[in-house]
Structure 1
């Protein structure tokens, strides 16, 4: 598991949350999913679906005990604004907001904006580069259709988490997607991560249908401007096709 539940909104982070650059801090995939889980648990008066999630990263998330809370910030019959907060040691490390929209039957006019991908079985096994630290990357199963963590440039990769997010609980489709979506800038990086920083300050995901199944794909590319700012953008897929898009704002500068 990524997190052991302790009750009353508290969770013990396991070593599997650890990011590739420090054994003390987490990859932001699991915390993003944990924030979404808390918002999904908020009662709704009608069948609704989260259509957009934005996670604001306020600082490193330590591999430690976390507290998570959520609330309906703006209730509504058709559209609601949700919010959530994640803290460690009394300090807020991340906040999230989500739009939850009432469901209706639009199956007769449903249309995808992107083409489906080849399945994970068509990809090659992708493993963690030796110079990257263990943790999160090792408990995700990766299949690359194009590019990889060790290659610079755009990438199309499938990923599947091999353990639950919380305890023995089955993760929701949204939780599985957010566990993966924060890897967009990592798989599509244009620069040597040992020489350059390209850190995301946020993650925004827009969805037009509920993700299903264990596998999530990132069709990702990064753009870098002349002023130390970049954007990593991903088309997000499950095994039945595209489900939405993700984006991350990047701070780009030389290491040291």
Structure 2
């Protein structure tokens, strides 16, 4: 079996593996894997011909490395647009929620445009440096390449990432699952502070997509702005091998450790 972020326990229950462990401690997850797990559930709802246009995640607390349950609902059904919702819970307590707009596809090739230039491809990037003491868990479950910047290089960054594990054991991940496995990292790769000395934790994540992603690689052209009052904003343009695919935004809680 291919290694995975989660093991299926039957129904809507999943067991978190070591590959989900985030940088803040051994008992809490990076937000990438649980975001992908909820997107996987959202893709199974509603009209299969519709595409994700926006997904917003609200972080209600640390996501523990433990057994979790997923629940979903259709908040607004429709022939053209749908509003979907999903919740990730631990022992009955919600730790992460997602709400997504999906739009039924149509041919807009004649008016398509407005994209920013594509990032340089992954084969022109170099491995992103990760210190040994930060190299386990989630960071080791993803292949990281840098065009510029990175986790321990403060400032703007252009990074390619490719998950090396499935979201759920025994299930081939979709391009959407791969994308959501890594885009929460935009705030990390473009951090303006040393995360060994400062907290820069996002309270949310919003992803807008203007087309369906393709392939295994996900690119982030990311930047972070920090204000004088303990609040920051991280944004990125998300790319795949064919060019820009969407954008992300995260509000940041910034404090000295």
Displacement of 1:194 after TM fit?
1.8
Displacement of 1:7 after TM fit?
1.2
Moved over 6 A (4+): none
Does 2:19 correspond to 1:16? Answer: yes
Does 2:220 correspond to 1:218? Answer: yes
User: Is the contact made by 2:46 and 2:77 (CA closer than 8 Å) also made in structure 1?
Assistant: no
SS of equivalent to 1:153? strand
Q: Deviations over 1:112-137 (max 9, x none)?
A: 42101111110111142234261000
Displacement of 1:77 after TM fit?
1.3
Which deviates more from structure 2 when the two are superposed, residues 198-207 or residues 46-55? 46-55
Does 2:34 correspond to 1:31? Answer: yes
User: Partner of 1:65 in structure 2?
Assistant: 67
Question: In structure 2, which of residues 135, 150, 153 is the aligned counterpart of residue 151 of structure 1?
Answer: 153
User: Partner of 2:45 in structure 1?
Assistant: 42
Which deviates more from structure 2 when the two are superposed, residues 221-230 or residues 130-139? 130-139
Q: What is the CA–CA distance in structure 2 between the aligned matches of 1:177 and 1:71, rounded to whole Å?
A: 22
SS of equivalent to 2:132? coil
Unmatched runs of 5 consecutive residues or more in structure 2: none
SS of equivalent to 1:156? strand
| Aligned length in residues | 254
Q: What is the CA–CA distance in structure 2 between the aligned matches of 1:129 and 1:211, rounded to whole Å?
A: 31
Displacement of 1:193 after TM fit?
1.0
Displacement of 1:89 after TM fit?
1.7
Q: TM (normalized to structure 1)?
A: 0.97
Which deviates more from structure 2 when the two are superposed, residues 121-130 or residues 195-204? 121-130
User: Partner of 2:81 in structure 1?
Assistant: 79
Question: In structure 1, which of residues 186, 194, 197 is the aligned counterpart of residue 196 of structure 2?
Answer: 194
Q: What is the CA–CA distance in structure 1 between the aligned matches of 2:244 and 2:163, rounded to whole Å?
A: 19
Q: What is the CA–CA distance in structure 1 between the aligned matches of 2:23 and 2:135, rounded to whole Å?
A: 4
Q: What is the CA–CA distance in structure 2 between the aligned matches of 1:41 and 1:167, rounded to whole Å?
A: 17
Which deviates more from structure 2 when the two are superposed, residues 213-222 or residues 124-133? 124-133
Does 2:119 correspond to 1:117? Answer: yes
SS of equivalent to 2:191? coil
User: Partner of 1:208 in structure 2?
Assistant: 210
Q: Deviations over 1:219-254 (max 9, x none)?
A: 000001111111000000000000000010001111
SS of equivalent to 1:233? strand
Which deviates more from structure 2 when the two are superposed, residues 171-180 or residues 121-130? 121-130
Does 2:133 correspond to 1:92? Answer: no
